[in-house]
Structure 1
Amino acid sequence: MIDRPFSPARLPVPAGIGRAAVLVSVFVCAACGLVYELELVALAAYLVGDSVTQASVVLSVMVFAMGLGSLLAKRLRCHAAVGFGVIEAVLALIGGGSAMALYATFAWFGESRWALIVFSIAIGMLIGAEMPLLMTLIQRIRAQDPGVAVADLFAADYVGALLGGLTFPFLLLPFFGQLTGVLLTGVVNAVAGGVVVLWLFRRDLSTRGRWSLLAVNGGVVALLLIGTAFVASFERAAREAMYGEDVRVAMRTETQEIVLTGGIPTPRAADGHPGLETHSAGAGGEGGGGRSVPRRTPGAAPPLRLFLDGRLRVCSLDEERFHEALVHPAMAGGSRARVLILGGGDGLALREVLGYQEVRSVTVVARDPQLVSLARTDPGLSRLNGGAFGDPRVQVRTGDVFGWLRERAPGRGGAFDVIISALPDPGISESTKLYSREFYGLAERALTERGRLAVHAGALTSRPRDVWTVEATLRSAGLRTTPYAVDGRVSGYQAGPDHAMRGRGPRPRDWGLVLAARGKERPPVRLAAAGRAPRAAAVTSASLREAVEWARRERISGLPPSSLMHPRFLD
């Protein structure tokens, strides 16, 4: 191992071919490096939550670590070929195994923030160490003006980054998944680094050095390939650690990960009686006392739970209370012939709407067609939603909810009497635009003169500013509002980003809701005088009056509205 920084390299090929080989290696390694970065950002958003904050932390830490790596690489310039080979092997191992390691720390230890920081620093330092060593190697092939050499290296690096950035979402994720895709990226990384050193610069290495480096690279490639063979069993074990042993459906669609647990068979005990009993939710506080909610008894089927990107969206223990409180006040107080449901791909809000005979048509705009398909066909979920998507009055549109509403010009196709916004929590970065002034302005245009809009605004107990920011945003769009908070939420923190919130604040025990309407008066929160009554009386007129009064006592005034240019929900 005797190379010197700028001593001419003894290449097995002409200098032009050798230089091209180094630039190709730069191209491939840059693509692999960006895949590692994007994978860390994706995992940060999925496992920790709040993608804006986590992406900022990961990228800033990695860039800082790249600077440290570049400084430390100066000590390796006298052994640039060996150093580059070792760095690429270590980078391939750490980067390729990072996704599996982060999943493991979260699944079995419940926390991955520190592991995420450690991997960001390690991968950033190794990526940062590449460029000084490559600069040395390319100058040893053929000395040239440093500016020209730097321009060539950075051109190959940036074009390779483009390839990695496009490969990650369009090839690796859809065809291989997160874990296998990053493991295979590590294999490509190790091979690219090994070829440059073990073939192009092999004469700079002693026999022992060549065999040692070959063993290291071969071991890394073998470990990564073995990892791909165990991905399926690892995912099953990690999923059971996060979601329990009742996982029935786990799929990655183009837009999200869907996990469905429990709900099968029909929850009846061995004696034929319902396998559920009730207990007091103990919401208490200023919510007006406790109420009865279902709880499993021995021998009963586990409750159905639907997780989207790790966040609990549906729990059969309390979903009926939530959907009744969301839908029924909006269906009261005027015509309800035409209804629009934004989100609600699980069909549960739709179930409540279809109970009204006056409803002539319901349009459901859902982001993920595969979730709608699951709601149609899964025996547990379709039983819970009452086969709502089979009703002839229902039309389903899939795609971007914001885009669909924006393209619907006023008067084209008619307006809606009721709009139900059954969308993800406003604190999730991807759904912030669906709680903006611009979005509510579009919704207001789609309402009839006396139309009503019902919005889920978060949890009053755990994130009160979210609830009141939603209310302020609705008012800024020209709507009259009546906020209310319904207790009885028993599902709490479960998995994914929700699980990571344990211990960082009060457990959400309610749903903050806002009923908005066009006109000059605030809409009353009440049940319809005629038509469909709540199935199990989970929500009553008395409980709705208490819900309005609870929200009135907890009001936070003076909050600014949220907009596309200035989202207010992310912290």
Structure 2
Amino acid sequence: MVHLSTCRDSPRARLSVRPGTGRVFVLATVFVCAACGLVYELELVALASYLIGDSVTQASVVLSVMVFAMGIGSLLAKRLRLRAAVGFGLIEAALALVGGCSALVLYAAFAWGGGSRYALVGFSLMIGVLIGAEIPLLMTLIQRVSRQDPGGAVADLFAADYVGALAGGLAFPFFLLPLLGQLTGALLTGTVNAVAGGALVLWLFREDLTRRGRWWLIAVNVLVLAVLATATALAGDFELAARRAVYGPHVRVTVRTGVQEIVLTRSPRGTVDLFLNGRLRVDGRDERRYHKALVAPAMSGPHRRVLILGGGDGLAAAEAMKHRGVASVTVVELDPGVERLARTDPGLSALNGHAYRDPRLHVITADAFTWLRSPRQRYDVIISDLPDPGITPSTKFYSEEFYGLAARVLAPGGRLAVHAGPVETRPDSFWTVEETIRTAGLRTLPYRAAGPAARPGPTRATPGDWGFVLASRARPLLSPDGGGGGSWAEVRGRPAGIAPSTLVHPRYPG
């Protein structure tokens, strides 16, 4: 903090406004820059979680690397204190360019490079260094505008900084992301950042700049704004090209809901594939084998009332309603966009056999965990057709608490079927699901079915198997496959020492 006290000895800036007004402008710039900085940070976390998965790990990487880099930036900024105005202007221009283009470059690395981990770390470092250099230079500038004791100046700067961070943190999920999307939202933030930093230096501190320095700063900011404007204009074409690189050339429908991005593709063979946040959730070629393996074993006992957790695509419901004696099927789906597509899209509705036309099917739009917490009627069959447990937002649906809630609504003699992930490639996750269900008070029977066919590309399925767990209060028996698409068999060799997963101690690797 030595440099803070020495700032008081620096000459007062030559301003065209009163010192009090100049101080307000500096603090307003701190507010804007802090908001932009937090948006960059949240943008990196959100996009990395979407592209790479395991949001806890990605958030930890971004935050730790960025905080470390901010310390480096603060140290490097000491060299710029004597030219604080021009230094701050150049740093804000660089931050606007790097932060504004970060989402675009990360998406490009994922689409054409197959991964974006190294780009994530690189941008976290660069943005952190630039953000860390802001406060020391702003401290110097505010000391030159208004003679203040260092303690008061620090309090004012950090107050503006924290309030700005609040504004940026709220703007990202409630305005930028839903209205503009990740790419355009980041580019717009960069534009605001460049304008705020450039305006402060070129207007308030213009007398402190040499003629040459002023023109250099103008040229740099114009170039940055031109790059951001060009990228914004081309963002739609870029996103289309990147999406084709990720999903293939046959993208039919793209919908961004308040929950996720939904993409429907049609292969040259005419099959429909459904992607949620870049991950293949329904493979048209393998769908019937998968849902038959998930649903049919649970239907061998009583099955008058069926509850499906997830499964808004209607495929599990369609498989359940093929069985005689089914009086009602209740689907609890978080995203109404999935249900809407399953009802109206010709390809997806044909794949689910127009299940939503069946009067026995009822849909509840809710989070399955929250919905189960309220007293419910009993169900003969519960099907958990939810994303893999390795995806961080899904881990609560594979917890002891969740299965305990599901067991409360399971009728006597009823069965619970859970998709538990592949046995061969992720045995730890598979057996953790099985142990967690056992710990919730149900008896289990783990089984597997032949998995998906090979697919090319970063988002496609790879050969393997599907793993499931069948559970009930009595020891469940595995029914024969009945023919007509695939087979399943009990999985033996349960390892010792497996611990259950809970809300406060999730145990699924990413």
**TM-score, scaled to structure 1:** 0.86
Give yes or no for the alignment of 1:522 onto 2:475.
yes
Residues 283-362 of structure 1 aligned to structure 2 (within 5 Å): 301-333=269-301, 335-362=302-329
Contact 2:308-2:383 within 8 A present in 1 as well: yes
In structure 2, distance between residues paired with 1:494 and 1:422: 24
Give yes or no for the alignment of 1:374 onto 2:341.
yes
Residue 119 (structure 2) aligned to one of 102, 106, 115: 115
In structure 2, distance between residues paired with 1:557 and 1:318: 33
The answer to which of 233-242 and 480-489 deviates more is: 480-489
In structure 1, distance between residues paired with 2:37 and 2:137: 16
Residues 168-567 of structure 1 aligned to structure 2 (within 5 Å): 168-262=172-266, 301-333=269-301, 335-407=302-374, 409=375, 412=376, 414-491=377-454, 494-496=457-459, 507=462, 509-518=464-473, 521-527=474-480, 537-539=484-486, 543-544=487-488, 547-548=489-490, 551-553=491-493, 555-567=494-506
Structure 1 residue matching 2:492: 3-state secondary structure: helix
What's the CA shift for 1:209? 1.4
Contact 1:462-1:508 within 8 A present in 2 as well: no
Alignment CA distance shift 1:392-1:494 (3 Å): farther
Give yes or no for the alignment of 1:128 onto 2:81.
no
What's the CA shift for 1:508? 5.2
What's the CA shift for 1:302? 4.1
What's the CA shift for 1:527? 4.6
What's the CA shift for 1:389? 1.1
Contact 2:8-2:143 within 8 A present in 1 as well: no
In structure 2, distance between residues paired with 1:385 and 1:567: 33
In structure 2, distance between residues paired with 1:525 and 1:12: 83
**Counterpart amino acid of 2:407?**
E
Taking every aligned residue pair, what percent have the same amino acid on both sides? 63
Alignment CA distance shift 1:488-1:459 (3 Å): closer
In structure 2, distance between residues paired with 1:103 and 1:395: 38
In structure 1, distance between residues paired with 2:46 and 2:456: 21
**Counterpart amino acid of 1:485?**
R
Contact 1:202-1:210 within 8 A present in 2 as well: yes
What's the CA shift for 1:484? 0.4
In structure 2, distance between residues paired with 1:91 and 1:76: 16
Contact 1:429-1:570 within 8 A present in 2 as well: no
Give yes or no for the alignment of 1:568 onto 2:503.
no
Contact 2:48-2:120 within 8 A present in 1 as well: yes
What's the CA shift for 1:212? 1.5
Contact 1:304-1:315 within 8 A present in 2 as well: yes
**Counterpart amino acid of 1:570?**
P
In structure 1, distance between residues paired with 2:228 and 2:8: 33
**TM-score, scaled to structure 2:** 0.96
Contact 1:96-1:182 within 8 A present in 2 as well: yes
What's the CA shift for 1:244? 0.7
In structure 1, distance between residues paired with 2:503 and 2:105: 36
Contact 2:315-2:351 within 8 A present in 1 as well: yes
Deviations 1:449-473 (A, max 9, x none): 1110000001001100111000000
Moved over 3 A (4+): 491-496
**Cα RMSD after superposing both structures:** 1.6
Alignment CA distance shift 1:116-1:372 (3 Å): same
Structure 2 residue matching 1:254: 3-state secondary structure: coil
What's the CA shift for 1:301? 3.0
The aligned counterpart of 1:266 is none
In structure 1, distance between residues paired with 2:303 and 2:396: 27
**Counterpart amino acid of 2:339?**
V
Contact 1:4-1:77 within 8 A present in 2 as well: no
Figure out how many residues of one structure are paired with residues of the other and give that number: 504
What's the CA shift for 1:27? 0.2
Contact 2:448-2:466 within 8 A present in 1 as well: yes
Deviations 1:344-391 (A, max 9, x none): 011110110111230111100011101110011111111110000111
**Counterpart amino acid of 1:472?**
E
Alignment CA distance shift 1:5-1:483 (3 Å): farther
What's the CA shift for 1:492? 5.5
Alignment CA distance shift 1:5-1:485 (3 Å): farther
**Counterpart amino acid of 1:190?**
A
What's the CA shift for 1:191? 0.5
Residue 32 (structure 2) aligned to one of 28, 32, 53: 28
Structure 2 residue matching 1:552: 3-state secondary structure: coil
Gapped regions of structure 1 (runs ≥ 5): 264-299, 500-506
Alignment CA distance shift 1:302-1:109 (3 Å): farther
